Chain A
Amino acid sequence: MRNPDLSSSLFWFAIGIGISINSLKYGFGTLHEPGPGFITFFAGAILSLLSITLLFSSLRERAQRGGLRDLWAGFELGKVLYVVLLLVAYTLVLKSIGFLISTFVLLSLLLRVRGTYRLVTILFMALLATACSYLIFEIWLKAQLPKGILERII
């Protein structure tokens, strides 16, 4: 897959076909009485038609454009993956560990992604941000953030 449009059009083509097939399962209905899958069938079909058009136009431009790798040339993909992983982990443990602890840990780790601060500074900033957000969202706006393992204390 040398051209980004080539690979993305194939991706969307597959998605479009998948949507249309699933829509048929939900029930296309008839023109007189359209079923639940009626509009999504057409949306999926048009999506795959458009992706084929994109596929062909990308084949023509192949020579001028760079490959998939060029999209990330000069960028640090590792940092993005790290941040996404942290956020996924946060989502998974939020309910059981609770807002205060998981947010403090998350912020401490996130602050190190781009910053070059001393550990004490980072911990202080994470603590401050956690406390402020707790005050604003839990106490003031009553957002009912999960308490987790601190349930008995607070």
Chain B
Amino acid sequence: MDILHYILFGFGVAFQPVNLLFCFIGVFIGTLVGVLPGLGPVAAISLLLPTTFRAPPVASIIMLSGIYYGAMYGGSTTSILVNIPGEAASVVTCFDGYQMARKGRAGPALGIAAFGSFIAGTVGVIGLAFMAPPLAAMALKFGPPEYFSLMVLGLTVLTFLSGGSMLKSLMMACFGVVIGNIGLDLMTARPRFTFGMNILLDGVGLVPLVMGLFGISEVLLNVEQQLRERKIFETKLKGLLPTLQDWKESIWPMIRGSVLGFFLGILPGGGAVISSFVSYGIERKLSKHPEEFGKGAIAGVAGPESANNSATAGAFIPLLTLGLPSNAVMAILLGALMIYNMPPGPRLITVHPNLFWGVITSMYIGNVMLLILNLPLIGLWVQILKVPYPILFPLILLFCLIGAYSLNSNPAEVGLMLFFGVLGYLMKKFKYDGAPLVLAMVLGPLMDNSLRQSLLMSGGSGMIFFTRPICLVIFGAVAIILLLPLLPLISRIRKSIGGAEK
């Protein structure tokens, strides 16, 4: 009954007024950025990160996590009403959600998406509470060689799942490792790749990098094209509550989607995106009426919406147990925890139980808040969707500028962000994925450290990575993943997922 005890303890933390308030602010902002196309959770979290430095750490992490899963909720709203996904994980929701809206069933579609997300959030939180502690206990036995091989595995899985060209993603991962190691070397205090610029001595900041790669570049891409007039479905939204028949058709897709999403979410990279696609595929296979998919089948909304939400909970597992982020959002949270002096890793759960249990139970409370926010306030979100892009994009740019500047009150940070903005724009043009770069940049210094420590341990022999059993298994997995795309079937599946994401 230990876990129950801890969960109750967590609720005690999460129900403190300040944490409730931060949780609410988080899910509110999350829904907002989920609704707004062109401003994703990554940019929003990095924007708000500097503002949390003076706030209590637990409340800050609760808020930043709230933005993450809140955005998943918000993204579904735009998918259903406008056929424009607010973020990548809601792409699938467009297929049937928008069709339901066109048939006048926008209400039940939004309702089932919200309920599905809620149920999935619950499954995710329970899974997190049961799986994280034993994993962390196991991770305590890991040494530098195990950590190094795990990070290599993480980057490899990410490049494999990232949809586009695996070759290009691997290239970006290499480049990211270098960017992560810019600045003073920790062991010898010698500057690396600083080119005489003071701003680079402390290394490239995660916030300017992420806001540039994901915020500025997205705006630049949108500025260059004539935006389609966004048509919002002008129907009276009534009957948000799904009927009994809707529930019957959705309940199993929801449960399957939740479990699937949770486990796929643990994998590095695009867990939420991949799981929503896989869930859609499974539901179509299992459905008695597969021909209705794409024409407004409610199961096609319920499954993927549940999957992408529980995936967000699963994504916390590698961060909170191993200290290794699995996607860009988790990478920022890792940076945040470092700044709050609570380095994530196997000891986090025992050293800072209030953080771990407080944050996961707050996700449960956040899910209730989201349900309340999303259903009655749907009209407000629809209004926000009507803000025209010519007005919206200068504001997004302004937020990024202020966010980067206020990090250290230094315009050089803004310059750095603009550099990565232009780089990100070109990368998108030339079809290079930014996610491996960000993850590798965060892991870069950790990899440098663990690699050097491992070699010191072994007296200069690289064999240390192949003689320790855990390392051997992990590197075996890396080799398999690198070779997998050469199989024609796997390559085709990857391409179809990549194509659908576009």
- Report chain A residues within 8 Å CB of B165: 54
Q: How far is the CB of B386 from chain A (nearest CB, A)?
A: 15
Q: Are the CB atoms of A133 and B402 closer together than 8 Å? A: yes
Q: Are the CB atoms of B167 and A26 closer together than 8 Å? A: no
Q: Are the CB atoms of B406 and A144 closer together than 8 Å? A: yes
Q: Are the CB atoms of A38 and B452 closer together than 8 Å? A: yes
The answer to whether A67 has its CB under 8 Å from any CB of chain B is no
Q: Are the CB atoms of B187 and A36 closer together than 8 Å? A: yes
The answer to whether B494 has its CB under 8 Å from any CB of chain A is no
The answer to whether B61 has its CB under 8 Å from any CB of chain A is no
Q: A38-B451, A115-B388 are known; give 13 further A-B pairs, CB within 8 A.
A: A8-B432, A30-B460, A39-B181, A43-B174, A44-B178, A50-B167, A90-B401, A92-B411, A114-B389, A115-B390, A116-B390, A129-B398, A144-B406
Contact among B181, B406, B425, B461 for A143, CB-based, below 8 A: B406
Contact among B188, B395, B409 for A36, CB-based, below 8 A: B188
- Report chain B residues within 8 Å CB of A5: 430
Cα distance A92–B405 in the bound complex, in angstroms: 12
The answer to whether A91 has its CB under 8 Å from any CB of chain B is yes
The answer to whether A47 has its CB under 8 Å from any CB of chain B is yes
The answer to whether B448 has its CB under 8 Å from any CB of chain A is yes
CB-contacts of B434-476 with A (<8 A): 444, 447-448, 451-452, 455-456, 459-462
Residue of B nearest to A78 (CB): B224
Given contacts A32-B460, A36-B190, A145-B405, contact A129 B390 (CB under 8 A): no
| B contact residues vs A (CB 8 Å cutoff) | 50-51, 54, 165, 167-168, 170-171, 174-175, 177-178, 181, 185, 187-188, 190, 192-193, 216, 219-220, 223-225, 227, 388-391, 393-395, 397-399, 401-402, 405-406, 409, 411, 414-415, 418, 421-422, 425, 429-432, 444, 447-448, 451-452, 455-456, 459-462
Cα distance A134–B460 in the bound complex, in angstroms: 56
Cα distance A37–B51 in the bound complex, in angstroms: 35
Contact among A19, A84, A92 for B178, CB-based, below 8 A: A19
Q: Are the CB atoms of A8 and B430 closer together than 8 Å? A: yes
Interface 0/1 of A69-83, CB less than 8 Å to B: 001101111011001
- Report chain A residues within 8 Å CB of B391: 111, 115, 125
Q: Is the interface of A mostly helix, strand, loop or mixed?
A: helix
Q: Are the CB atoms of B402 and A114 closer together than 8 Å? A: no
Q: Jot down 24 A-B pairs with beta carbons below 8 A, ordered by A.
A: A4-B431, A30-B460, A32-B459, A32-B460, A33-B456, A39-B447, A43-B175, A43-B177, A44-B174, A47-B175, A50-B171, A50-B174, A80-B220, A83-B219, A83-B220, A103-B398, A110-B393, A110-B397, A113-B223, A115-B391, A129-B398, A133-B398, A141-B406, A146-B409
The answer to whether A59 has its CB under 8 Å from any CB of chain B is no
Cα distance A78–B411 in the bound complex, in angstroms: 25
Q: How far is the CB of A127 from chain B (nearest CB, A)?
A: 13
Given contacts A36-B192, A71-B429, A75-B225, contact A46 B174 (CB under 8 A): yes
Cα distance A103–B448 in the bound complex, in angstroms: 41
Closest 10 CB pairs of A and B: A115-B390, A32-B460, A31-B460, A114-B390, A110-B394, A36-B185, A143-B406, A47-B174, A75-B224, A43-B177
Cα distance A75–B221 in the bound complex, in angstroms: 9
Q: How far is the CB of B491 from chain A (nearest CB, A)?
A: 13
- Report chain A residues within 8 Å CB of B461: 31
Q: Are the CB atoms of B456 and A47 closer together than 8 Å? A: no
CB-contacts of A102-148 with B (<8 A): 103, 106-107, 110-111, 113-117, 125, 129, 133, 137, 141-146
Q: How far is the CB of A75 from chain B (nearest CB, A)?
A: 4
Q: Are the CB atoms of B390 and A113 closer together than 8 Å? A: yes
- Report chain B residues within 8 Å CB of A76: 223-225
- Report chain B residues within 8 Å CB of A142: 54
Residue of A nearest to B413 (CB): A91
Which of A38, A40, A79, A141 has the most CB atoms of chain B within a 10 A radius of its CB? Answer: A40
Given contacts A38-B452, A40-B181, A54-B167, contact A87 B397 (CB under 8 A): yes
- Report chain B residues within 8 Å CB of A80: 220, 223-224, 425
Given contacts A31-B461, A110-B394, A129-B394, contact A40 B422 (CB under 8 A): no
Q: Are the CB atoms of B167 and A34 closer together than 8 Å? A: no
Q: How far is the CB of B57 from chain A (nearest CB, A)?
A: 17
Cα distance A133–B402 in the bound complex, in angstroms: 9
- Report chain A residues within 8 Å CB of B225: 74-76
Q: How far is the CB of A151 from chain B (nearest CB, A)?
A: 14
Q: How far is the CB of A94 from chain B (nearest CB, A)?
A: 5
Cα distance A26–B194 in the bound complex, in angstroms: 11
Q: Are the CB atoms of B418 and A53 closer together than 8 Å? A: no
Residue of B nearest to A111 (CB): B394
- Report chain A residues within 8 Å CB of B418: 84, 87-88, 91
- Report chain B residues within 8 Å CB of A92: 411
- Report chain A residues within 8 Å CB of B414: 90-91, 94
- Report chain B residues within 8 Å CB of A83: 219-220, 223, 397
Which of B181, B220, B227, B425 has the most CB atoms of chain A within a 10 A radius of its CB? Answer: B181
- Report chain A residues within 8 Å CB of B429: 4, 71-72
Contact among B175, B401, B430 for A87, CB-based, below 8 A: B401
Residue of B nearest to A71 (CB): B429
Q: Are the CB atoms of B51 and A141 closer together than 8 Å? A: yes
Contact among A12, A39, A94 for B171, CB-based, below 8 A: A12
Cα distance A19–B415 in the bound complex, in angstroms: 22
- Report chain B residues within 8 Å CB of A115: 388, 390-391
Q: How far is the CB of B223 from chain A (nearest CB, A)?
A: 5
Cα distance A83–B397 in the bound complex, in angstroms: 10
